[in-house]
Homo-oligomer: A and B are copies of this chain.
Amino acid sequence: MTSPQRARATMSDVAAASGVSPKTVSRVVNGVGYVSAETLEAVRTAIDQLGFRRNEFARQLRQGTTATIGLVLEDVADPFYSVLSRAVEDVALAQDYLLLSASSAEDPTRSRRIIESFSSRGAAGLIIAPATDTDSAFLRAELDAGCSMVFVDRPVPGIRADTVLADNRGGAAAGTQHLIARGHRRIAFFGDSASVYTATERLAGYRDALTTAGIEHDDRLVVMAPPHADATAALIDTVQKLDDPPTAIFAGNNRWSVVLLRYLKEHGPRPLPAFLGFDDFELSDVLDPGITVIAQDPAAMGQLAAELLLRRVSGDDRPTQHIQLETRLIARGSGEIAGPFNSS
């Protein structure tokens, strides 16, 4: 049983032990300024002996800022965000920043609480995938207080800050067009709640493609709801049991893809309808047929956002940047099932 040495050594302790002033210890610890090889050695020894570690609070209180950035997203357990999160972390750590992260769970109140905590803990900047209805006046106040922000995945209306977004509309249009080109005229679209930015953008892209192809819009083929609701089965059923059911399905995000694929396996019409999902996911290539997707690049999104933020934090005050990431269609089979009007 070692007796726990409750009190951490301070710089003064180290200074006393090595016969120099606290300031010299500070110089050694931070590698700033000149220190003679001799005293350096003495101080280092004392540091090791006492197990000294710099007290970050004191340092930060003095300096007013921290090498910490905050990440707020909808749910770390969602693969899209967990990959993004890891990318942010890697950039942060490479520049000696630490990452605070939390899931807003799409709850504006929780989201605000998180942002306040991060901010009052001196996060130098924040990367935010804003929850729907995030209070923008509040965010603006934070921005004005000098807290840099980069928004990922979704913008906040009325907030001037850097954004890194995917080309949701263009990607969804390309996906829909892909299905149309294979003879589909009745294409169902399942997206998240209409209040979610990405969902609405993707729906718009879907509609763009239908319009371009001169296909009538049938609202009964469109479902906009959170995919984790228990009601999903009923929603899907309603669409599938139309007199004129869809011959192709477009899933608006990876959560919907999973729910729909599960449904199709159990209750799906045979032969299976064509299927295309927005956002790639693990095992999409292992399913049979492989799932055709409009792939986003969450790692790139996280990396770019982190780099942008860290530049801002270090004083870059160039005009607000809006980065749009291209999406990429990956054909694996499910989206290449021909529709009834296929003429090829």
A contact residues vs B (CB 8 Å cutoff): 2, 4-6, 8, 51, 53-58, 60-61, 66, 68, 75-79, 82-83, 85-86, 89, 93, 98-103, 110, 113-114, 116-122, 140-141, 143-146, 258, 261-262, 265, 281-283, 285-288
Contacts and interface: CB of A to CB of B under 8 A. Distances in A.
Given A6-B146, A93-B102, A102-B98, A57 B286 contact: no
A51 B5 contact: no
A56 B86 contact: no
Q: Which of A66, A77, A113 has its CB near the most chain B CB atoms (within 10 A)?
A: A77
Contacts of A285: 262, 265
Contact of A101 (B99, B143, B262): B99
Contacts of A265: 285-286, 288
Contacts of A117: 98
A71 to B, nearest CB: 9
Given A4-B145, A6-B146, A99-B102, A110 B122 contact: no
Contact of A61 (B55, B68, B261, B282): B55
B51 A141 contact: yes
A98 B121 contact: yes
Contacts of A288: 265, 287-288
14 contacts: A6-B145, A6-B146, A53-B119, A58-B61, A61-B61, A77-B83, A77-B86, A78-B82, A82-B82, A93-B110, A258-B286, A262-B285, A265-B288, A287-B288
Contacts of A54: 120
B120 A56 contact: yes
Nearest to A113: B93
A89 B262 CA distance: 28
Contacts of A68: 121
Contacts of A82: 76-79, 82, 85
A55 B146 CA distance: 14
Contact of A122 (B57, B144, B145, B261): B57
